[in-house]
Amino acid sequence: MFKPSVIRALLTRYVLLYAKNPMRTFELFFWPLVQLLVWGFLTMYLQKQGGKGGNFPHYITFLIAAIILWDALFRAQQGVSISFLEDVWTRNLLNIFAAPVRMIDYIAATFGVGLLRVGITAVMLAVVAITAYSFNIFQLHFGLIAYYANLMIFGWALGIASIALILRWGHGAESMAWALPFMVQPFACVFYPMSELPEWMRYIAMVLPPSHVFEGMRGSIEHGGFDFRNFFAALGLNVIYMGLAGWLFASVLRTAREKGLLVKTSAS
């Protein structure tokens, strides 16, 4: 089904883009580190203020865990969308489509880029969280793998959707590569429980996989154990979203080929 040699070649190309450009590598580390530091020290400050009254819950540290896990979704999405934009910016997109590269192999390679980005930043954030805040993300045990997997799958689905929008609407839609995850974030219950949302927003949150992931994460930190109900809810929804993203991409790609949008996107 997949061609490992093609995927490996594409993945090598994208990795070399980071190796040859220090600014890309700097960006990979800079933004997640800044977010963790800002939210981490804010969490410590709130704990100290709440500690004066003796009733501030210790499990507020889920804010630190939320930052680390949210980065997995964002980096997975960026791995897909930014890899595609790299081909657009370097006018290499037509070469990709002219070469014997199937779209399934191309998408698989971008998934690999997302996996590498997530792995690199996850290690850095885990180390910073332990050393700066004495917070060990590995306390989630098996749940950590389950949460990462669900968030990455949804991030990949958003990445495919971003590519489809750029293919259909051209350079005017490039901002979607960065905006799409943050359009979802208010409904994803990253920093607050679903119960705090207005009722109409709660209905949207219930059909988004990340909200179930973060609900499960908070429950694990507060009560221990692993929430299988939220895990399977997120997994089932991810299957649906990945299928929808694949259908959207295939439909837009077919239209782009028929209307010559690929040439316009590459030549602009």
* Model confidence pLDDT, tens digit, residues 192-204: 899 999 999 999 9
Q: For 52-63, write each residue's pLDDT tens digit.
A: 554 455 566 788
Q: How many other CB atoms are found less than 10 A from the CB of residue 124?
A: 17
Cα(209)–Cα(219) distance, rounded to whole angstroms?
Answer: 16
Closest CA to 147 of 233, 222, 223: 233
**Global pTM?**
0.89
Predicted pLDDT at 59: 60
- 3-state SS of 198-232 is CHHHHHHHHCCHHHHHHHHHHHHHHHCCCCHHHHH
Instruction: Find the DSSP H helices in the chain.
Output: 4-20, 22-51, 62-89, 93-98, 103-133, 142-169, 176-184, 199-206, 209-223, 228-259, 261-267
Per-residue pLDDT of 197-244, as tens digits, reads: 999 999 999 999 999 999 999 988 888 889 899 999 999 999 999 999
Is 96:84 a contact under the CB 8 Å cutoff?
no
Question: Residue 231 contacts by C-beta under 8 Å, 6 or more apart in sequence?
Answer: 143, 146, 150, 212, 213, 216
Name the band, by pLDDT with cuts 50, 70 and 90, for residue 14: confident
Burial of 263 (0-12, 13-18, 19+ CB in 10 A): middle
- For the segment 96-115, the average pLDDT, to the nearest whole number, is 85
The arithmetic mean of pLDDT across residues 18-34, rounded, is 81
Give the span between the Cα atoms of 29 and 252, in whole angstroms.
Answer: 33
pLDDT at 50 over 70: no
> 19 versus 120: which is more confidently predicted?
120
- Decide if 121 contacts 88 (C-beta within 8 A): no
Residue of 67, 44, 190 whose CA lies nearest to 125: 67
Q: Ranked by mean pLDDT, which of 31-45, 87-101, 134-148, 232-246 comes out on top?
A: 232-246
Residue 253 Cα distances to 71, 106, 118, 247, angstroms? 29, 13, 27, 10
Q: Tell me how far apart the alpha carbons of residues 70 and 77 are, in angstroms, rounded to a whole number.
A: 11
The pLDDT of residue 111:
93
Q: What is the mean pLDDT of residues 78-96?
A: 85
- Report pLDDT for 46: 76
pLDDT tens for 243-267 read: 999 999 999 988 887 777 666 665 5
What pLDDT is attached to residue 187? Answer: 95
